[in-house]
Each structure stands twice: as structure tokens, then as C-alpha cells.
Structure 1
Amino acid sequence: MHHILIIDDEVHAARGLQAGIGWSRLGIAAEHVHLAYSVQQGQELFKQFPISILICDIEMPQQNGMEMQEWVREHYPDTLTIFLTCHSDFVFLQRALQLSSFDYLLKPVDYEEIEQVIGKAQRQLAESKAKMSYEAMYDHYRKLWESQRPIVAERFWQGLLNRSFPSKPSVIAEQLSRHGLEHHPEVRYLPILLKIRRWYKILTQRDEQIMKYAISNAVQDGLQRAGKEAITVSLDNEQGLILFIVAAEGDHAVWSGLDDGGDMLIKFCNEHLYCDISLYVGTEVAISEVVNVVDKLIELNKNNIVQINTIIMLEEWREQPTKMPDVQWSQWLCWMKEQQEQLLFEHVSLYFNSWKQEQICIDAKGVEAFYQEFLQMIYTYLYQMGLHVNQVFDQKSLAGQSKEVLHSVHALEEWVVYIIQVAMNRVHTIKKSMTVVEKAVQYIKDHIGEQQLSREDIARHVYLNPDYLTRVFKKETGMSISDYMQQCRLDYAKRLLKETNQTISEIAVASGYSNISYFSTIFKKFTSLNPVDYRKQQRQNQAM
């Protein structure tokens, strides 16, 4: 708890602050608030108590507040000083800043104002303490990491797990002998896969390696305190392996207290190492079967999309058919086109929350399907808005982050929201600068499936007389509105024939044609192929 020192040569002023400030609201005990009426008395109190915040009058006889601050800065640099003065003189303020004071208040002081300043000073002290703690821990693990090298035993296990040699007992025995390692045939192992699911902070590659070492060291410390014998092995892709050594088959004593130890490790990683993790517990097996169990744990992690900061037992895991909640893609697309961003994001949040329901079973296959369908919706939205995807996104931000976003509900939801925001913001920016004809063109694309779409509808949308719009449209595009609509319908139909498995009748309706025969006639007139032959030709070209 913080100790506060008030220094003022005016006794009533000092006692007034002591009595008027709501110390209990600030979480400060009354006995931790100290008074001094001179610089000399204040210095003596600094030697008796760990003063965190100094509230000091500047104008005092003999030694003043500035001299006190110079002394404090030299001897107690972590203390924050709040100056009080009757003068709003720039010279005082400038000197206070030079002496690194925390704040500067004019007398008479408003109690609510000084409480806010003290509260702000408390927060800065807490942040400084947390930062120092993190930096000390970081420096400690950095030195350990730089001084340590992989041991021979870890090299052997990495070779086994990476299938550098077969998992046959005779080959394993040969490799153990080559590495100078002893192994008793009756010893069994209990593999636990540790997966880093998400970092809370942006770290450099070097910092990530140091923090991973910190996690490994935390595991080792926990094992030593619990008296457990185990081997830790670093794996690729944010994964590590803990191999508990079991003296004999059925010896479950090694597993006693695992839940508590696992929960403590998860909490430590969350609070101090800025990451979410998952722990996957295998079954006790001979050394030749370790690779098979680890493979199952890796597959288990691959299909665990929802559960983080949990301990998952391989024996209790039961594969179930994927049950993805239905997505109203057409409604999401409609909200995007109508710029209903808040409404859309509310439904996105509700949708991802539904994934976390116990009766819902979602695996990597289901998430991949959602990912592809979402990308298709974005492509459709941009196409209908008259934009090419490369005009809005680079490859990394749109389709290049699948590795990161397909293994976490949180990461996927953040990415979905980000992609929607970028797409809608880009379209909104372009729409604001559109000409009347460009707005008319966009309206046609947005309503291409409406069979009764007329030039009057389009003119009404851009607030122009239909005849005048027709003249302007023809002048700017070289085409009449009806011809342009016909071209858009056919372009849209060609795209659906090429990219979807919809029937010809469905595509005709989606393109704004109610009569399939008429659609086929018009399509052949402009492409020299009927819709069926056009689809065959496009798919043959794609297969080549």
C-alpha cells in the first residue's frame, strides 16, 4: 500500500489536505498519510517510511519545495511529486518540469481534482512496477536462454518425433546408445502436448523464442517442485512436448496433481508470459509408441478450435460429426451492401459465440469450409460493388493468413471483422466520389437479379429524370441503359456458370431472366454457345 507525505509550512493547509482528501476511496490507509511542516522534517520521514507520492508546497521559508524535489530525485527517484503553489508563474512551472515533478496544482486545491491526480499517480506507479517486474523476468530468462544449449537427450527425442529414424525398438536402442543415453525397456512415457494458441502482445521473433524458453523453464520448475521426472522437447509450430517418465505400466502416481499443476501453468502463461495455451494429455506407452500418441495429440490440437486455456485428455476425446451453425450469407451480404456495419457485427459476434456452445461440434474441416465461404462472400460483395479484390486487399491480409486464423475462434473472429471493415470502408470511400453514371452502374450491378428492373428505378435512385439519365448514360458509356443491363446480366451469368454448381434455371433467375428458353437464346447470341456448352468449355479450360 502506498505511503503519502504532505509537506507544507502552513499547518492548517497540511492538516486540511489530510482531512479533506478521500484516502479510503483511493485505497490508502489513514495511517499511511504523513505530515511535515518543513523540508527537514520531510527528509526525516522519507528515511522512516517508503514514501510513494510526495505532495509538497513550493513556497516555504528556509528550504523550499524545489530544493526538496532535488533531494528526492537524488535519493528516492521512484517517488512521484505533486507540487502545490499559490502562483501560476511560468518560471515555477518550468522549474517543476525540469525537476521531473508528476503534476503541478494551484492553491487553494480542489479536493476532487487532487484525488484524481493522486489516482493517476497510483496508476503510473503500478504500471512502472509491472514493467520493472516484466523486464526483470524477461532479462532473467533471456540470460538463461542465451547461456543454454539443447542437450543431447532433446536431440534424440526430436529425431524420434521428426521420424529421422524408425520407431522400432531395435533402431531406438541403437540411437540411444549412439547418443550415450540409458533407457530401461520397462519404462513408459506419458506425453503431454503444450500448444501456444495466441500471443497477447506483438513480439519479435527473438522475443518469441525467449518467451517460449520461459514457458519451458516454468514447466521444468513446476516438475522439480512436484518431484516429477520428465523430459521437455521443443517442437515446431508453437508446440512443445512434456514426456512424463512412468516407472511401470499402470503407475498413475506420476499423474497425481496434474490438474492443479496444469491449471497453474495456464494461469502463469496468461498473466506473465502474455499467451493462451492448451494442454493435450496422451496415454502411457512404451518408447516405441510415443510417436503414434504424439501424432494423435497434434491431430487433436488441429481439430480443437474452441477450447483454449484448458487440459484436454486424449482418452476422453470423442470425434463427432461437424455441426456448423448456419450462416445467413445472403443477409450478411445485404447488410454489407447497405452499409449496416453495426448490425452486421452484432450478428457476427452472436454467430461466433454460438460456436462455444457445448452441443456444437466444430473441427478444422468445418472452420475451413466457413473460411472459404466467407472469402466467397467477400469476392461477391466486391464484384457487385464494381471492385476487384486486388484493389482492396493484398494477398497476405485476405487469403494469406489462413495458418493463423483457422486454429482459433478468437483469431478467426478478429480477422472476419477486420476484412469486413476494410471492404466496407473501401466501398464507402469510392461511393462518396462516384459520378451519377457510376452510381447508376453500381445500382444496376446491385439489383442485377431483379427481372422488373427499369430505367425509371435507376433514375429514381440517382434523383434524375429518366430521359436525362438515358442521354447522360449513353454519352459517358457509349451504351444505352438497356444494353448495359443486358451485358451485366450475361457477365453475371457467365461467372455463375464458371464458378458455381447452380442449375441453368437457377442461374437464369439469379441473372434476371424469368424465361429459361429466352435466357438460353440471348446467351447463345452473345457467346456463340448455349449455357451448358459454355460451362463445359470453362471447366475443361480450368482442368488443363
Structure 2
Amino acid sequence: MKLRHTLRIKMIIGFVIVIAPLVSFLSYLNYYSMEMIRAQAAQAKNDLLQVYFDGIDKNIDRVSDFLYKLVLNDPDLKSLGLHPYASRDYIFAKYLLMGKLGVELEEFPDAENFFVYRTDRDEFIATSQFQDKFLNNFDLPAFKETIRADRTDRWIIVRSRQEAALIKLVPADVNLVAGAWIRLDRLIAPLQSVESVEGSESEAVILSREGEALTPSRFATNGLTAPETGHTYSEAIGPDKRKFLVIAKQSELAPFTIAVSIPEQQLFRSLLFYQKAIYLIPLAAALIIVLFIAVLQNVVYKPMRTLLRGMAKVGKGDLSVTLHSSDKGELGYVLNSFNEMVARIREIDIWETQRPVIIDKFWQDLLSGRQLLNVERLETMISLFKKPLASDGFVIPILISASQWKQHISAEDETTMEYALRNAAGDIVLNGLSGDVIQDRNGTIFALVYLEADAAGKLETIQAQIDRNCASYLDACLQYFCSSLCCYVGEPSPLLKLSETYYALLELERHHVTAANTVYYQKDMKSFSAQLPSLYWLPDWAIPFKFGKWDSVREKLEETFGRLEQGVPPAKEAMEGIYYGTLYTLYTIFHENGIPVYSVYQAADLNPPAPPLKSVLQLKRWTFAVVHKGIPCFQQTDQQHDGIVAKIMNYVAAHLKDDLSREELAEKVYLNPSYLSRLFKKETGQSLSDYIGQVRMEEARRLLSQTNMKIVQVAEESGYRNVSHFTKMFKRMTGVTPQEYRSKYLGDIG
């Protein structure tokens, strides 16, 4: 299941959809409240700055009026321009002017001093304190140059080494300029005292029109920016990375601006929630989501996951699952209901799983007569099978007998094939019919065809269907399972008398061993008493067997089985007599000659898992095989052995290029492959495979030394299809590769 389709993700998404608008609304409300506080604080500071500027502009305007009156009406100032420079009248007028400027200065608290500058004589006329301050704080030549260059009637800002000042220049005549000097730090001092009350971090600073700080400030020289036109305030970041609210007011008479910076931390000090809520709301929302997920995990998701896993196991066929939950609510009820449902399914599954076994057991007991049933109990049992069969109905039993297998198979494979035959019988024999396929206690397969009580009129049609189905079944088994079968069809029998028909079919199958791939009906078969053939033949083949005369033994066996196959039909007891008589004869002859039986035979040779008694052909094959395997032990003379070994050697030399196998060589001399290997090693001292390899290597050395054949051709002539394998075997036998052998041999000849 994809993650986005899980219940957990869907519930989390739903919760986020619900809580997101609330978080957004709270965040907007907090932001709006903070903006309102900023706007109100900015408006209050703007009102304060307006009042402060009204006083400053009024004082500046008074200073300007004084300078204008001084230039226009003061006789001493005018006398300076009329009297010769340094004359007694000039000096007298100068000192009178200096005294007058000092007296007038007391009336203007914002002004630092008044002065008169004579440009042609480079002379300042002012109080002595003014002269000292200029010498200490100002670049006097630069200041004088400013006066000469800018004689316009306006306020200008002059910067000194330590401070900045506001200067007003009013020309009196060509050479005389009257001026006023106002220190900016004194101009803003009252406002700074108001802003620096105890506990406040607010700061007032004077800025130039370019935004440069003209009085001491915590910000850099250009760190503050006045709000744009139409805005009440602006924001700035301080050196300590704190956020400041900036409110500014520009003078209408002079080129400066007063700005007040207030830390937002101070602004929201009394409203701490608003200051931190912008961070707390998302954190709170995240915490709520985490808590919601935790609750969801324990209350909903964990039980649901348990339920889904249990359902997945049940879907895969695992009915052993049991869900545990401590929940006493609805989900706990769901899990308990699931456990009850699985328990019921388990009971049904056990019944459905065991139903074929129970059906087999029922029919086995009924056929064998071990279970005595009345009509009521029979109806109860039949109702459990859910089959269209009534207690007063009839059953046609069909015995399916495997006469022989076309190929040799092991006991384990035979069991598997019998299972396949049973399944095929259910599909083919019961095609279009109602019934079941079972096996009795001995493993014999029976197909049971169910008939209704009133099916007498349909009996011919049903038997024709059975005949067609059985014929198709026999053909299919012969084609696909390599098995020859017989089908024995019994008479329709009531359920309570079915065992009689069952035993009759078993007796019929017991004595009918010659035919295969045939359908027999019980009504067409007559009881018979077979004549047992005489076992006089055992001494006939036993004597030539002792002397290793296989031809005589084979002739006697052919005569015996020829007579046996002519029986109509041969008796089962006769076949059993031949089987056990053969075993007795072999054990006796080997014991008399001191040869251990199991040095020649495997246990399965003499004691197969299932005795070969299903057909005459099966018994014949077994008899010929065991007798032929034992007779080489009694073929007496060494001359005979030498003749066999010589024949093998000649055959190997003549067919060196062929793929020589032990089985092929044994077939050429009519011996068992295992016996041939033992005989060859006994006579030559080496195994058959080693001898073949030795002959091939000798031929390869001869071809390498006496011909110009390529290595590939030498390998093929020596019986090797793979050159790499030939090279590997040649080096193992000779110690050198074929190329090295040829080079060495040619070198020795040279």
C-alpha cells in the first residue's frame, strides 16, 4: 500500500486542513495586533516630534530674524564698513559689536554664538570662547572657504572634528557676513533626555538630508533611513541584530531630520505574548500535530494497523492469527469481532480441509462393512457432504486398476502417479455425472456415481456416459501418464448394500490380469475358478542357470509365460507362485555355491516396494531381469571371460571415435553393465573407463607424432568432441600439452 493511501496520512492531512485556517487566523491576528501597536507608537512619537520641531523651528526662526535685524539696523556693523580698517573708530565699533553679540546670545539658548566675518581681511568678530572653539574643533581654513563660497541666505551644516553645527550666513555688504552657530547636539539634547528615561533604550539622532548621522548614535553612519513619504515609520536592524522602529521628522527651515529609534523588544515589553506569538503559534501548531499523531497512533492507528495486518494474514490463508487489544471502546469491539470471525472461518476451513478425508473415511467404512448405518444416520452423514445423494438412492462403483506402467518408476513416483490418476478420474470419469473419487484402505481407486431413487429410466443413458468417460480416461492415462488401466464398472447398488458390489469388483480385478486398457462390466463377467499352472518349470530353468546357460534358461522361461498368457484369465495365485518360486530358487542356488545374494543384487531388485503381480507382462519383465542379472556369476571358464574381454577391446578399438558407454558395451556382449565392469577389472586390472581413456591417449600420441593433423582433428579421431577437454586430459596423462608433445617429438627426430 502506498504511503499516501494509508489511514494515518489521510487523518493527518484532514487534521492539518482543519487546523491550518485556525493557525493562519491566529497568526494574522497576532501580526495585525503588532502592526497596530507599531502604528500607535509611531503616531505618538510623530506627535512628540511635531511639538518638538515647532519649538526648534521657532527658535531657528528667531535666530534668523536677529541676523536680519543685525545686518539692516545695527550701526556698529555698518561702521565697520565705513571706517578704515584698524582705525580707532573701527576698533571701537568692533568691540561694541562684540559686546552686543555676547549680550544678545543670552536671549537665544539654542544658539552657540553669533559672529561677523570680514572676508577681505580674514577676520572673525565674535566672543573669545567662539574663537577658542573654532581653533579646537573646526578646520578654520575650510570653514572660511565655506563662508566665501556659500553666501546664500540659508542654513547649512558644517562638520567639525568632533561635532556638527548648524550655520546661518547673512551678507551685510561685499566684505562682511553675519552668522549664527547652533550646535546640533545641544539642539537635540532635550529630546534625548526624554527618550533616555530609566529602562528605555530609545534613541534620538539628527540626520542629514542624505541620511548621515550628525549626532552620536548606536547605528552606523548611514544605518538609519527615514520613512518614505506617506509612511509613519520604517524598520532598521541594529548592530546587535535587534529590530528597531524608526520615526523621523524633517525640519522645514534647516536641512536636517530628527529620527527616534525604538527597539521592538521595548515596544512589546508590556505585550510579551504578541512579541513571541509569531514564533509560538507555529510551534504550538506543530506540537498539537505531534500530540495528535501520538494519540492517533495509540487510539486509532495502532488498532487499525493490527486489524489490517490480521486481515492481510487471513487473505494469505493464515487462520492462526489472533488480535490482542486493551481498547474497551469501538475499536476493541471491532478487533474482538474479527477474532470471532476468524475462529468461525478456521472451523469452516478445518472442515473444508478435512472434508475429503472424512468423505474417504465414510466410504471406506461403508464399503468394507465396518460401519453399520441406519437410514437416519445415513441421511445425517450425507447432508454433511453437500452432495446430491439421498439415502434411498443408488451408487455405481467403478474400480480403476493400474495394470502396468510403460516406464520404470520408483515407489515414490508411483504414489504420485496414483494421485494424478485419482484427480484425472474426477475430471474425466465423472464428467457430466454426479459423484466422488475415493481410495479404499488398500489404496485402490474407486469412482462412485450417484443415482437418484427414480433413475431407473435413465440407467442406459448413464451407463453409456460412463462407458464413454471410461474410454476417454483410459486413452488419456495411456497418453499422458504412460499407464495401462482397466475400469471395472459395478451394478447400481443401494447404499446399505454397496459393500457386496465392492467385494465382487475386487475379486474380479484380482483374477483379471492379462487385459489392459479395457472397460469391464460386472454384469458381463461370470465367476470362474482358474486352473493353477504346474510349477514343474522351476527345475527346468534352475539346472541350466547353475551352469550359466542363458539361452536354455531364456527358452524355459518363454515356454512358461507363453502358457500363462493363454489362460482365460490366469489365476492370481499362479502368478504369486511364480514370483515367490523364483525368489526361492535364486536364494537356494546362490547359497549352494557360496555366493552372497546381495553381492549381485540390490535389495529393491528382489524385494520391490510393490510385488510385480498386476499383470503377466509385469511379472515376466521382472523374472527375466533378475534371472539375467544373476546368471553371469555361473558362466564358468576363464576362456569365456577372455573371449568377452577381447570382444570388448576389439569393439573399443573399432569405435574409438564414438561415444562409448558402459551400457552400450554391456549390451554388445549381453551382460549386465555392473557385472561387465567387475569382470573387465578382474581380467585386466583396470576399470573399463580407464582402459578406454588409455587407448584414446595412445591413438592421440600416434596421430601427433606420425601425421600433420591439426589438434582439433586429432581430438575428434581420438574420440573427444571438446578440444579443451582433450588438451586437459592429454596433459593429465602425459604431463605436456598436445602442442608441446608434437614440438618435443619433432625436435627429438631432428
TM-score range, shorter chain: 0.3 to 0.5
Structure with more relative contact order (C-alpha pairs < 8 Å, separation 6 or more): 1
| TM-score (norm. length: structure 1) | 0.46
TM-score, normalising length: structure 2 = 0.34
